[in-house]
Structure 1
Amino acid sequence: MLGPDGGFARAWLTGKSVVPVPAGTRLDTAVMCRVEAGCRAVGAQHPIDESTAAVAHGVSASVVPRQPTEIGLVAPAPLVLLHTPDLQGAVLFPEPGYTLIAGSEAFLAAAVPEGIDAARARFGRYARAMKKRWPYLQRIATAYPPAHRAWSHPSDVTPGTASARLVSLLGAFTQGTCTAPEFADGWWEARRTTHSQGERASGDLADLLDGVFMLLEEYTPDPELRESGDLTDSELREGVQSLVRNTERGAERR
């Protein structure tokens, strides 16, 4: 899993992604909650705690199952390596200031729910803020940059992306060429893809997508399952149309 330099081995990283996450001088509870979520997502009850020094040099390490809460209470200092029993995901705490969370799409979707790019962008800001204390963080941020820039308006979105699919669905729904259930199903699927691919939005586009999310939280596609207060198909369409108009007006004012 680890190479001679103490980092993740290239062979193990095949088909996986790496996300740097802020940390202190010891492994904290916030990181351990991410580990716990990642483990649950891939069917693991707990991570395996290994000696990074032994693994890096090919020596058989003492493998000890640990509950995430137990590790969080112990708050170990670097070097620390935790991984799922099936090696789908891992967390490396090589030095103070950061951890590297790596793994399969399923593991990272739970361990880094804000999305890969959002987490990488956040780490970049953190690295700049902490450059006097831990100057090496900027090197880590440079090694793991966001794959996508943050789009601020629907017209900025790169064609072929999951975010472009969201914009296309908005157009179809507001123009009446797709039904409310079709819009809802397509929206949730595309939204999940934007997260797994690390796509990000900011400004007007972020506000628009957040507004649609809030509307869909109040909508149930099946009329027989709707409760009092849930949005109807027409109310959902009217709400989305209003959000789109407000976004367009805001862009015109600028």
Structure 2
Amino acid sequence: MRDNVKNRDLIRLILTSAGDFQEDWKRSPDAKSVVPLPAQAGLSHVTARQVVAGAREAGAAAVLVASLAPDRQDMTVVEAALGTDALLEVVSRTQGNHDVLLVADNLRGALLPKSAYALLGGTKEFMHGALPDGPDKARAEFHRYARKIQGAEPHIMSVASDFPPRSRTWKRVADLPAESHTGRQVALMRDLLSGAVDGPAFARRWLEERRCAMDAGERVGEDVAAALDDVFYSLEDYTIDPSLRDEDDLTDEELRRDVADVVQRLHGGPERPRR
């Protein structure tokens, strides 16, 4: 963005006159998805962190803060550095008693405040940074939030219905489609135990499938999620290149042992202590 951009200019670029995201902005230069987030008055630390993480992942250098107050339309957009505290400080100075629109300075993501919620929109990269567990999980969590506050905010359930989760939740490993990214994670775990893949190949491919599963919005039940998280934690202690391993890193055999424990749990075996 150029210097000295006015609030009205940024708002017109991102929002419609009705106060929703512009279709042109959602389509260009890259396709953007939109997810509702719980939000009360003001910008929370959690949401500020999500915006900063999304902007950073999308390659932005800063977050633009534009007041939505009618009497501030001719004022210049304020720029906040990519830090949660820095963004909160700028918003507190800019907001007053009015909402603000937050936009990554490369226009690849934005946060739009609404009544009792906010809309987070952005490219695949932006949303991956802001919502590492995937947009679908955020949509499911918003549905739970909407049910809790619908007595005080009757409109909130209609918002939730406008943004349903795009995929079902697979509660058991037996429910996983083989062609899903999560199903491929489990298949790779079996391949490691059978010797069809070695430790380094398993680590690279499993982590890639995990990322793809999150990007695709695949959701699993709590037990399956906890088991897969344990594999991820094991891989955090495993160095793919054997020449770079420290004494404290997991060996290939220790990795297979951890994965074997998880596979046993997924198929109804006893649960082992978490790392």
Cα separation, 1, equivalents of 2:61 and 2:47: 17
Instruction: Please tell me whether the aligned partners of residues 181 and 221 of structure 1 are also in contact (alpha carbons under 8 angstroms).
Output: yes
Instruction: Please tell me whether the aligned partners of residues 18 and 100 of structure 1 are also in contact (alpha carbons under 8 angstroms).
Output: yes
Residue-by-residue CA offset, 1:59-109 (whole Å, 9 max, x unaligned): 8774222341323544835542111122100000022x1111100011111
Cα separation, 2, equivalents of 1:63 and 1:75: 9
Residue-by-residue CA offset, 1:23-55 (whole Å, 9 max, x unaligned): 11222222111111122222323211224477x
Q: Which residue does 1:7 correspond to in 2?
A: 20
Instruction: Please tell me whether the aligned partners of residues 121 and 127 of structure 2 are also in contact (alpha carbons under 8 angstroms).
Output: yes
Q: Which residue does 1:151 correspond to in 2?
A: 170
Instruction: Please tell me whether the aligned partners of residues 78 and 94 of structure 1 are also in contact (alpha carbons under 8 angstroms).
Output: no
- Aligned: 1:173 with 2:192: yes
- Aligned: 1:83 with 2:103: yes
Which of 50, 57, 60 is the aligned partner of 1:34?
Answer: 50
The 3-state SS of whatever aligns with 2:179 is coil
Q: Which residue does 1:106 correspond to in 2?
A: 125
Question: RMSD over aligned Cα, in angstroms?
Answer: 2.2
The 3-state SS of whatever aligns with 1:249 is coil
Structure 1 residue 8: Cα displacement: 0.7
Residue-by-residue CA offset, 1:169-223 (whole Å, 9 max, x unaligned): 1221122211111100001111111122221221332122022112212211222
Alignment of 1:50-65 (within 5 A): 50-52=66-68, 62-65=76-79
Give me the TM-score of the superposition, normalised by structure 2. Answer: 0.82
**Structure 2 spans left out of the alignment, 5+ residues:** 1-13, 82-86, 271-275
Q: Percent identity?
A: 37
Give me the TM-score of the superposition, normalised by structure 1. Answer: 0.88
Structure 1: which 4+ aligned runs deviate by more than 3 Å?
Answer: 51-54, 59-62, 71-79
Q: Which residue does 1:19 correspond to in 2?
A: 35
Cα separation, 2, equivalents of 1:133 and 1:78: 21
Structure 1 residue 11: Cα displacement: 2.1
Alignment of 1:100-249 (within 5 A): 100-249=119-268
**Cα gap change, 1:63/1:75 in structure 2, threshold over 3 Å: closer, same or farther?**
closer
Cα separation, 1, equivalents of 2:179 and 2:68: 41
The 3-state SS of whatever aligns with 2:114 is strand
Cα separation, 2, equivalents of 1:233 and 1:103: 39
Query: Which one-letter code corresponds to 1:102 in the other structure?
Result: G
